[in-house]
């Protein structure tokens, strides 16, 4: 699609702007693979192709286009050289988190990675390593959807007459975490599960720690999930290497603003002698993981 139209140099040549643009004048077929002429700039993608049974890196070389992102090149490969090359995408604007992959070994969104900002030479594109391969660049990210089902639902206090009131400064803490586009790059990079499949049963991962932090800091929520996140979601396994923060395309400060405060709160809930005394005096029993989890479907 991207190479379907010549670059609009004059307004007359612009098909969007020109109402009576006549299709006869433009070539109808512009998708044929044009072999790159020697003097022409080219781009080479080294793409992992295969399935659960195995696979290999395959090189695809195409003419380079100005301003393209890696996903554009993948689309051109699909349209010309490899129609069945599997890859997920939706919005192509960094807002849906579908086109996650590893580009030159770094977890990134293909739609937000410009070709011209990468080092010269072939660009290696491989699927997320933490999740099982479905095909080519597509992995089975079902793990994340399973964890989501174990997060106890938002449980607000009943609305007062005239509706809820919240201050902007209070909602902004949660809003930072709700910027999450669920690209799962943080899950992919997290070493607790990246190379340790066995940890997945007991570890929710950074994406869900920010979900827990968001609920914990939500001005209206009443459920207490601190014991749950400590005992069943593996919060203690995170040793704050901040890899998740580094790869987050939404620039959420996952470690500093979510995981560390969550760890502090969870520890407070369990071990703080003052809190313990407070609970004794006020007869407010600590919420057990089971009680907190009662609001989740599983």
Residues 208-247 interacting with another protein (rule: CB under 8 A): 215, 218, 220-221
Q: Helices (H), strands (E): how many in the chain?
A: 11, 7
In Å, how far are 157, 158, 164, 171 from 161, measured between CA atoms?
12, 9, 8, 20
Nearer to another protein, 179 or 196 (CB): 179
Q: What's the closest the beta carbon of residue 191 comes to another protein, in angstroms? A: 24
Maximum CA extent, the chain? 84
Q: What's the closest the beta carbon of residue 101 comes to another protein, in angstroms? A: 14
Report CA 159 to chain centroid distance, whole Å: 33
The answer to whether 46 and 119 are in contact (CB under 8 A) is no
In Å, how far are 41, 158, 211, 263 from 236, measured between CA atoms?
50, 33, 16, 8
Nearer to another protein, 140 or 268 (CB): 140
Residue 53 as a binder of another protein (CB under 8 A): the answer is no
Residue 97 as a binder of another protein (CB under 8 A): the answer is yes
Q: Which of 91, 240, 277, 294 binds another protein (CB under 8 A)?
A: 91
Q: What's the closest the beta carbon of residue 276 comes to another protein, in angstroms? A: 30
- Name 73's Cβ contacts closer than 8 Å, sequence gap at least 6: 43, 45, 60, 62, 115, 123
Residue 54 as a binder of another protein (CB under 8 A): the answer is no
Q: What's the closest the beta carbon of residue 25 comes to another protein, in angstroms? A: 9
The count of chain residues that interact with another protein, using the rule CB under 8 A, is 87
Residues 24-43 interacting with another protein (rule: CB under 8 A): 26, 28-31
The answer to whether 217 and 173 are in contact (CB under 8 A) is yes
Residue 23 as a binder of another protein (CB under 8 A): the answer is yes
Residues 124-153 interacting with another protein (rule: CB under 8 A): 134-136, 138, 140-141, 145, 148-149, 151, 153
Nearer to another protein, 165 or 284 (CB): 165
Nearer to another protein, 85 or 244 (CB): 85
Task: Please give the Cα distance from 283 to 276 (Å, whole number).
Answer: 10
Nearer to another protein, 182 or 272 (CB): 182
Residue 294 as a binder of another protein (CB under 8 A): the answer is no
Residues 68-87 interacting with another protein (rule: CB under 8 A): 68-69, 72, 78-80, 83-87
Report CA 158 to chain centroid distance, whole Å: 33
Residue 17 as a binder of another protein (CB under 8 A): the answer is yes
Phi and psi, residue 238, nearest 5°: -70, 120
Closest to 187 in 3D by CA, of 212, 154, 209, 216: 209
Task: Please give the Cα distance from 216 to 154 (Å, whole number).
Answer: 10
Report CA 228 to chain centroid distance, whole Å: 24
Residues 159-188 interacting with another protein (rule: CB under 8 A): 159, 163-168, 171, 174-175, 178-182
Phi and psi, residue 108, nearest 5°: -150, 165
Residue 90 as a binder of another protein (CB under 8 A): the answer is yes
């Amino acid at each position: 699609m991207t190479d379907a139209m010549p670059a609009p140099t004059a307004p007359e040549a612009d098909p969007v702007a020109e109402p009576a643009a006549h299709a006869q004048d433009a070539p109808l077929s512009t998708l044929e693979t044009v072999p790159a002429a020697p003097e022409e700039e080219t781009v080479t993608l080294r793409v992992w192709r295969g399935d659960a049974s195995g696979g290999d890196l395959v090189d695809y070389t195409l003419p380079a286009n100005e301003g393209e992102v890696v996903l554009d090149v993948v689309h051109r490969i699909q349209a010309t050289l490899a129609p069945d090359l599997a890859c997920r995408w939706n919005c192509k604007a960094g807002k849906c988190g579908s086109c996650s992959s590893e580009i030159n070994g770094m977890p990134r969104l293909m739609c937000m990675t410009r070709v011209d900002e990468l080092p010269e030479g072939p660009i290696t594109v491989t699927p997320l390593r933490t999740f099982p391969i479905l095909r080519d660049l597509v992995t089975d990210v079902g793990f994340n959807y399973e964890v989501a089902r174990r997060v106890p639902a938002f449980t607000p206090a009943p609305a007062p007459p005239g509706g809820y009131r919240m201050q902007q400064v209070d909602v902004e803490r949660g809003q930072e975490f709700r910027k999450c586009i669920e690209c799962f790059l943080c899950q992919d990079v997290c070493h607790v599960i990246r190379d340790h499949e066995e940890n997945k049963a007991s570890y929710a991962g950074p994406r869900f720690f920010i979900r827990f932090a968001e609920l914990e800091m939500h001005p209206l929520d009443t459920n207490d999930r601190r014991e749950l996140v400590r005992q069943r979601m593996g919060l203690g396994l995170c040793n704050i290497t901040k890899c998740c923060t580094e790869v987050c395309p939404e620039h959420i400060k996952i470690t500093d603003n979510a995981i560390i405060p969550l760890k502090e709160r969870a520890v407070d809930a369990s071990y703080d002698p003052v809190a313990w005394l407070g609970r004794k005096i006020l007869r407010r029993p600590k919420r057990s993981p089971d009680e907190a989890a009662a609001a989740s479907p599983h």
